[in-house]
Amino acid sequence: MRKCFSLSALLILCMTLLAFAEEPPPRGQSAVVNITTNPPGSQVFLGGEDLGKSPITNRSVQSGRQTLVVIDQGYELVNQRVNIWPGSDKRNNLDFGTTIPKGSIKITTIPGKCQIYIDGDLADYTDGAPLTVKSLDAGDHMVRAECGGKKNGEALVTVKGEETVEVTIDASGKKKK
C-alpha cells in the first residue's frame, strides 16, 4: 500500500512538472533580442552569428532554440542554449552578469624597494622581496615600479585567468649590455 502511494505521488509530481514545462519556441520566425552583459563590450554570438559587442539592442534574429556565446578578452564567459521567441517578446531580453577570470602578477624589482603601480593605481610596495598582486582581471596591465629619484621601470604584463605571471622590472638605471 505504501509503495503504491509513493509511486502515485511520484507520477503526479512528474505530470505536474511536464504540464509546466515550456514548449520550445517556433523556429525561423522574425524575432527581436536585447542582450546585456556585465562587463559591457563583450563579443556576442547567437546561433553562430556574430551580433557584435554588447549591449545588443533591438537586433532582428530568427526565433528558435539557439546557442548564445559571450566572449571577453579571449575567455568564453557564457555558452548556453536559449529560447528566442517570435516578435518582441520580453523573454528575448537576456541579461548576463558574466565574470572575467582573475589572475595574479608576482613582481620582482631591481632595486628591491619600490612602489608598485598597476594601471596607474598604487598597488603596494616591494620591500626587498617579490610582491604578488592578486585578483587582477585577465588581460593586459601596465606595471610600473618607482624606486626613488629617477629610478623607474615599467612592463606590460598579460594576466591569464587562474595563473600567476612573474615579471622582473629593472629600475636600477644601469645600461644592459
pLDDT tens digits, one per residue of 89-123 = 998 898 887 777 889 999 999 999 999 999 999 99
Q: What span, in angstroms and rounded, lies between the C-alpha atoms of 43 and 71?
A: 5
Indicate the domain borders of the chain.
24-96, 102-170
Q: What span, in angstroms and rounded, lies between the C-alpha atoms of 71 and 41?
A: 9
**27 in Cβ contact with 63 (< 8 Å):** yes
pLDDT tens digits, one per residue of 128-170 = 899 999 999 888 999 999 998 778 999 999 998 889 999 999 9
CATH of domain 102-170: 2.60.40.1120
pLDDT tens digits, one per residue of 40-49 = 888 999 999 9
pLDDT at 4 over 70: no
How do 93-96 and 30-37 pair as beta strands? parallel
- What does the pLDDT read at residue 161? 80
- What does the pLDDT read at residue 71? 87
CATH of domain 24-96: 2.60.40
Q: Could you give the maximum distance between any two Cα atoms of the chain, in Å?
A: 90
**98 in Cβ contact with 80 (< 8 Å):** no
Note whether 24-96 and 102-170 share their fold: yes
